[in-house]
A and B are shown apart, each in its own frame.
Chain A
Amino acid sequence: MTESGYRVLVEGTATGDLLRLDAPISLWGGLDSETGLIIDRSHPQFGASMSGAIVVMPHGRGSSSSSSVLAEALRIGTGPAGFILATPDSILVVGSLVAGRLYGKSCPIVCGSVPPGSTGIWVIDHNRVHPLPGPGRSPPFAG
């Protein structure tokens, strides 16, 4: 499925493994910016890595410190490749924009959804979101 018309909250392109969060998360207390791992023990995806992933989630939750945690993760390079949010979240938007302003390392954020059961590598391309096309969808080599 290739869809255009996603609402762009933070402009950009990104490719990464889809990581669907089954519950909203507060990045503060929920994401370790040093490692990119989800550290909220009560979260269904506890232990999963956001690093380099296209993160799909319903909305942010809780602490207003999440902007800082996102900017810090993006600065270090452990942050997600991009976000697909069901509802806009200005806390994530500002975190990404600040990482862009300071380090040129923003991550794209779009508003919309992906079909249930979607997995594999996905692409955010400005206002378009789609699975990585073509056969042999294997992750690119690191580096």
Chain B
Amino acid sequence: MSEIINQSLTELVENVKNKKLSSTDITKAFIERSEKSKELNAYITEDFTSALDKAKKFDQKPNLDLKLPGIPMAVKDLFCTKGIKTTAGSKILNNFVPTYESTVTENIWNEGAILLGKLNCDEFAMGSSNETSFFGNVQNPIDKNFVPGGSSGGSASAVAGKLTPITIGTDTGGSIRQPASFTGTVGLKPTYGSCSRYGIVAFASSLDQAGPMAQNVKDCALLQEVISSYDPKDSTSIDFERNHYSKELTNNIKGKKIGIPKEYRVDGMPKEIEELWQKGIQYVKDCGAETVDISLPHTSYALPTYYIVAPAEASSNLARYDGVKYGFRASGENLIDMYEKTRSEGFGAEVQRRIMIGTYVLSSGYYDAYYLKAQKVRKLIKNDFDAAYKKVDAILTPSTPSSAFKIGEKTNDPVSMYLNDIFTVPVNLAGLPGISIPAGHDSKGYPLGLQIIGKAFDEQNILNIAFAMEQKINFKNKIMDWWIK
């Protein structure tokens, strides 16, 4: 048996079920690893003592029928956790302790998992490098002073660095897939409506979706099976028949038609990305699938559309952080003064920028030109996918236009930062599932990901394709534990 922290979730579950490992063994190992990994700054809040207690309690009366029996897990700090501080990476929620649990985390604990702590993320999930967090930037385990991507940067770093066997993130425009790509891990953004948004601090309601982040596709399928549920508490949750994704996982994708959209070949894209994509095409062919050249003609409008829709919703969603009811409050001369000081001091620069953009595009006189137009374009983007799916079963693209970059490299250039999400945002706008799997390394040895986009509710299909490709790619993450002294 290999070292605990090097085991996949699937292996750990198996070893618990076979009584080769106890929950306490596993929990201790990941706590120890986490303790040694402070330099990654992956955690905002640690809950180790309580995690060990829970593990011991589990071991006293282990329920081995559960899907995640006694498995410790840290989660993104955007999920409200009962009795545990939940900050969304923001000063404005620095002191906020929810009295309730998000549906997604509730589902996880109901299957026997144990909370290790809350993972760092960009403030209110707004960012692509985890540099907007009030709690400081997160290190990418692949190399010192490289960003892990964002907004689920802490989650990606924690999985890649083996601080947690698996985790969950949220993805509004790429926040699971881009950090997965940057850290050599697997990240799935499910179909909009698959995972309940109840209890997740909202960024852009029509785009937000929780999803698993894992070391491999099978782990990812198992967690997706746990977190996806119909929830009447979320009006946008969809009641559809959910697969047993991990049980039904197969590498047989013979005869599947995989679309290759020409619009994802963008100007200035590094040659390495193009080469990786071509390799990916070869892999799926090797697996017996067929590739088809397709067109998604409105792709180039996706990013500007996203940067209207998401800030518009965010500007309204974040209005509740006003210092009146909970969270940070600055003192002021009067109500308006208190609002202004609270929100100026409580929100960071990127969040303020997006609130400003969102407020602007919704103002009377600009609404039609921006928000309404963006909604129309959004429909066109969705139509592009609908048309493509008449011909193909899934679509293969690069996950990101580059590999991980240096901390600080893009902080003063928001547009270049936003370009990180160019391949991921169309999927959110169309409400489709997308998975990023590690597919190779660039010349510096940093991981690069490929994205498989599916039809709505067709998670099983893209998991299968990813599973088949994973076996062909046989990716090995080159993590040298540089932060362990």
B is a partner of A: no
Q: What is A's interface to B at a CB cutoff of 8 Å?
A: none
